[in-house]
Structure 1
Amino acid sequence: MLSEQKCEACSIDAVALNKGERDTLLLELSDWHIIEREGIPQLEKVYKFKNYKQAWAFSNKVSELAEDEFHHPSILLEWGKVTVTWWSHSIKGLHKNDFICASSCDGFVENE
């Protein structure tokens, strides 16, 4: 399970996941979607909250995860809503780490 895994350091020769690998890992996540921006597949989810303060607190947890894993997503914080987008910049695509971090984000919501 993704929720039980930790990120691994991406080596210089790391390869992006292919579509089949991405689709298989996506089955382990809830409400995440693979989108493409500028030809780069990215993993994205919108979280909804009752107010800005809850959304902000969630954003801080995602930021702490990013620093701990040295893997940084795009985080869009709005009133009652946070959009999190993971992808691996160095390989211009998705790595298993992106799915592990996405699963961790879901855990922050489940544990509240």
Structure 2
Amino acid sequence: MSELATMSCEACQVDAPKVSETELAELIRSIPDWHVEVRDGIMQLERVYKFKNFKLALAFTNRIGELAEAEFHHPGILTEWGKVTVTWWSHSIKGLHKNDFIMAAKTDLLLD
């Protein structure tokens, strides 16, 4: 289990710093199944999870929703037949914050 998964998100304000290139390189090693996507100039973490059917994908989506509400940090989620794409980024700073890496690690734990 990633050490990140044991951490809690901190309140992220508009003026919170984005992760630096050095921090990004270090943090991404803790969540090797995730990759960085840049959309509209905004760095985001993304992972695609595969499932046997829509019912299992939807159940996973619901667990992500519960986690997001508990941490008050919300991802982009695309649920399809047999697949869930999860995208984490900090909307308030339009980029990546340590919270996004924490949430990615916590999302991985939902598979167990």
Same fold by TM (over 0.5)? yes
Is it true that 1:52 corresponds to 2:54 in the alignment? yes
* Separation (CA, whole Å) in 2 of partners of 1:32 and 1:19: 16
Contact 2:89 2:97 in 1 (8 A): yes
Residues 6-64 of structure 1 deviation map (CA, whole Å, 9 limit, x = unaligned): 11111343111112211210000131000100000000000000110000000001111
Residues 40-90 of structure 1 deviation map (CA, whole Å, 9 limit, x = unaligned): 000000000011000000000111111111111000000000000000011
Contact 2:13 2:93 in 1 (8 A): no
Pick aligned residue for 2:23 from 21, 24, 32: 21
Structure 2 counterpart of 1:107: 109
* Separation (CA, whole Å) in 1 of partners of 2:55 and 2:24: 33
Same amino acid, percent of matched pairs: 59
SS of equivalent residue, structure 1 residue 64:
helix
CA RMSD of aligned residues (A): 0.9
**Aligned length, in residue pairs:** 110
Counterparts of residues 80-99 of structure 1 (less than 5 Å): 80-99=82-101
Q: Where do 4+ consecutive residues of structure 1 move more than 2 Å?
A: none
Structure 2 counterpart of 1:74: 76
Partner AA of 1:88 in structure 2: S
* Separation (CA, whole Å) in 2 of partners of 1:71 and 1:79: 25
Partner AA of 2:17 in structure 1: V
Structure 1 unaligned regions, length at least 5: none
State TM-score, norm by structure 1: 0.94
